[in-house]
Structure 1
Amino acid sequence: MAATVAKPGLIPRVIQEHNLRPVANTDTNNSSQPDADVDPKVPPQHQRLKLSDFALVRTLGTGNILLAPLATLDAPRVYRTFARVCLVRPAGANEEDRDKVFALKILRKAEVIKLKQIDHVRDERRILSDVAGHPFITELITTFSDHDSLYMLLDYVPGGELFSYLRRHRRFPEEWAQFYAAEIVLVLEYLHDDQGGVAYRDLKPENLLLDGQGHVKLVDFGFAKRLGSRDSRPVETYTLCGTPEYLAPEVIQNKGHTIAVDWWALGILIYEFLTGYPPFWHQNPIEIYKQIIEKPVLFPAEPPISPNAQNIIRSFCTVDRSRRLGNLIGGTRQVKEHPFFEGIDWDALYHRRIRPPIQPNVRYPGDAQCFDIYPEDDGKREPYTDELSRQYDRYFEGF
């Protein structure tokens, strides 16, 4: 249902329809050249890794970009696969290592360049490196590259997408929504406060996986950006990126946005947890944008939504971000103190001492039954030519 877009203005010309971890940036108003600063080279032992060191088990998800203007969405659609996430294990693993499995995100250099994703990919790598170790964020183990592709080796999260469980249950009881929202609050607190103002910018059920015990793991940092602050004020950024149903009004209006967009998205997410659908939706993303800007959040008679849940959703989904919960003086502390989260032991939650409401059926470390089946790579790809290599290799030196 949700599509991810990245565009500097109101009307996106490229819509990304995704399966697991979409990344897109088609900012045609920007230069195709990325930022001039180049990451330091990674340690030699990382550079020695190569794709043949891993045995492919199966594809976990793909990111497919739909190339068509909105005005011609009824015409034949042209898709381009941008990223692929695979379950892998060490090649030739012995008996002792047979249970070692990883998720390998594969990004083709030619597509990264063509879709103007260089800065997003570099930001993703930097931020994932910085946040490694948080209990509710996917962990980047290392990165490496070859002539054609970039690779991110991540911990494998076997429980599958939270979206799949929401689809199966149709909607979550309020206690479930409270639990998952609380773990996300701890993630946003860490990104916003402890990591110097990192805006995630693509919060939605598809980007939340469950680990083997049922705890949330936030994945896909392709749109994350470290904004920081200047003169005690949060720095603003202007690229339209995210998922239409979850975009904050200031993003759509191109007024400049801050980390406050993540709190808006959390309000939308809680609404979808409780009802099974987002408050703003239409087949045409432009109509979604109009609804977000012009309409208040309305609640259905069925299922009934508690006053506390309605209040926190409205407090997050406040068009004026200066009055938005999470973006006020007190920040995340005010979110934690909201009556919707009454009874949450935040310390116990952080240390994973609270039993999650959903227990994924994971039979062994490499079990992938919680993920949908996707076609495997057909081997077709745009060539990464010598000319592209000469022009762009320096921007991939951090991999």
Structure 2
Amino acid sequence: MAEAPKEKMSFIKKLTISAKEGTLFKKSNTVSPSTASKQVSNRGSQSNLAPASKPATAASPSSATSAAPPSASPAAPSPSKKSAPADVDRAVDPAKVATRGVNPANAPPFKPKGKYQIPDLSIDRTLGTGSFGRVHMVRLKATGKYYAMKVLKKNEVVKMKQVEHTINEKNILEKLDYPFLVFMLGTMQDSHNLYFILEYVQGGEVFSFLRRSGRFQNSVAKYYACEVILAFEYLHCRDIIYRDLKPENLLIDSKGHIKITDFGFAKHVPDVTWTLCGTPDYLAPEIIQSKGYGKAVDWWAFGVLVYEMLAGHPPFYDDDHFKLYEKILACKPKFPSHFDPNAKDLVKRILTTDLSKRYGNLRAGVVDIKCHKWFADVEWQKMEDCAIPAPYLPPCKGEGDTSNFDQYPEDHEPYGVTGPDPHKDKFIGF
């Protein structure tokens, strides 16, 4: 590998140090290409599911390939003024990829979220843990409905300088209402913790499904990719950058649709931002180089996601963060022989360091991606309406089923404790 310019190396060193300190970066449960190959080899067919999984309900070709256009709606506003390159290859008429829900004018009126207290909830088992706290399944006593409660320790949030990100997360979740994004019921706080009461998604993480499968069949990866595209289109139309796409942050609901969760790095960005944050394997080159960046970083991460779903491992991998960032900047992904040619073409058009050529960042924005030949058989309005059967139905025994999540020790401190709150002024109105 050619030696990177010294000025870029300094950026990489800065980012590597930040990642080791864990201040603005999250770990990713990625596996090396060699490990992924062994997983697939040991399982045989790439479409194998875990024994507990229900038989996949595959979407028939006819269900997604009808030539009839979806209901007409205004195209989403372009996120970039860059001109499309001469080699743009559209397989679909742009007028046929518009969907209703991505137009901000169609958004439902803003409804303030509810305020709750710990006594309003029955707290069940832990679904996941992190450096700031944990997530529980809870039941709202007034309705009997199940939700997920994300608990963040105030001391840790302040110590790790995540106050602004946490406030951003609350403010953004309050305004979101879309099929492929986790819905927030409300928030609350006590003297020690912050609480998000969120939609409970029973099916577990796409990450878990992907690791069990080794890698996804082309049709499965395409299905999830479509739902992520629609979610990003919805967010970007509202000038929200997500900045933390990865299989661990994609949940699967009981009907097989994805729900993007964890908006801790999401931010309202009408123009550009400079914050160094994300998950190392999914960082765009412009973040690594400490450049101002915008919505294009989400599309880079989307290209990484598509590659990982089809290959079983990310395109750029190294245990050493320094070398990982070098590989990202070099941007020379190697594609396995089984990779679908159209998917390969799309990933190559997205994973480019040249922002003037990156799909999603051209004049037509997301339209270039939705019109790409890999998605030629997709009916986007039906996809948004959840009218196309999902390729995988997670085992689910009921609304309160937690079998798709790992077990964790219940060693947390009591919630709802009153007492001195040295950080009260930092979370006013939470």
Using the TM superposition, give the Cα deviation of residue 380 of structure 1 relative to its aligned residue in structure 2, in angstroms: 9.1
- The residue aligned with 2:348 is 314
Match of 2:330 among 288, 294, 298: 294
- Measured in 2, the distance between the counterparts of 1:124 and 1:262 equals 17
- Measured in 1, the distance between the counterparts of 2:28 and 2:284 equals 23
The residue type equivalent to 2:198 in the other structure is L
- The residue aligned with 2:136 is 86
Are the counterparts in 2 of residues 19 and 62 from structure 1 also a CA contact under 8 Å? no
The question of 1:14 aligning with 2:50 is answered: no
Are the counterparts in 2 of residues 110 and 384 from structure 1 also a CA contact under 8 Å? no
- The residue aligned with 1:173 is 217
The question of 1:398 aligning with 2:429 is answered: yes
- The residue aligned with 1:111 is 156
Using the TM superposition, give the Cα deviation of residue 168 of structure 1 relative to its aligned residue in structure 2, in angstroms: 0.5
Unaligned runs of 5+ in 1: 1-6, 21-41, 65-81, 229-234
- The residue aligned with 1:376 is 410
- Measured in 1, the distance between the counterparts of 2:125 and 2:414 equals 17
Are the counterparts in 1 of residues 184 and 198 from structure 2 also a CA contact under 8 Å? yes
The number of residue pairs the alignment matches comes to 333
Identical aligned residues as a percent: 42
- Measured in 1, the distance between the counterparts of 2:15 and 2:171 equals 28
The two structures have a TM-score, normalised by structure 2, of: 0.73
- The residue aligned with 2:303 is 267
Using the TM superposition, give the Cα deviation of residue 10 of structure 1 relative to its aligned residue in structure 2, in angstroms: 2.1
Relative distance call for 1:19 and 1:335 in structure 2 (3 A) is closer
- Measured in 2, the distance between the counterparts of 1:151 and 1:334 equals 39
- Measured in 2, the distance between the counterparts of 1:278 and 1:116 equals 29
Unaligned runs of 5+ in 2: 1-11, 30-110
Relative distance call for 1:378 and 1:128 in structure 2 (3 A) is closer
- Residue 201 of structure 2: SS of its match in structure 1? coil
- The residue aligned with 1:202 is 244
- Residue 242 of structure 1: SS of its match in structure 2? coil
Using the TM superposition, give the Cα deviation of residue 261 of structure 1 relative to its aligned residue in structure 2, in angstroms: 0.3
- The residue aligned with 2:208 is 164
Relative distance call for 1:156 and 1:122 in structure 2 (3 A) is same
Relative distance call for 1:366 and 1:18 in structure 2 (3 A) is farther
Match of 1:140 among 166, 184, 188: 184
- The residue aligned with 1:277 is 313
Are the counterparts in 1 of residues 331 and 353 from structure 2 also a CA contact under 8 Å? no
Are the counterparts in 2 of residues 62 and 83 from structure 1 also a CA contact under 8 Å? yes
Q: How large is the RMSD of aligned CA atoms in angstroms?
A: 2.3
- Measured in 2, the distance between the counterparts of 1:243 and 1:328 equals 25
Using the TM superposition, give the Cα deviation of residue 307 of structure 1 relative to its aligned residue in structure 2, in angstroms: 1.6
Are the counterparts in 1 of residues 296 and 360 from structure 2 also a CA contact under 8 Å? yes
Using the TM superposition, give the Cα deviation of residue 238 of structure 1 relative to its aligned residue in structure 2, in angstroms: 1.4
Structure showing the higher strand proportion among its residues? 1
- Measured in 2, the distance between the counterparts of 1:345 and 1:62 equals 38
The two structures have a TM-score, normalised by structure 1, of: 0.79
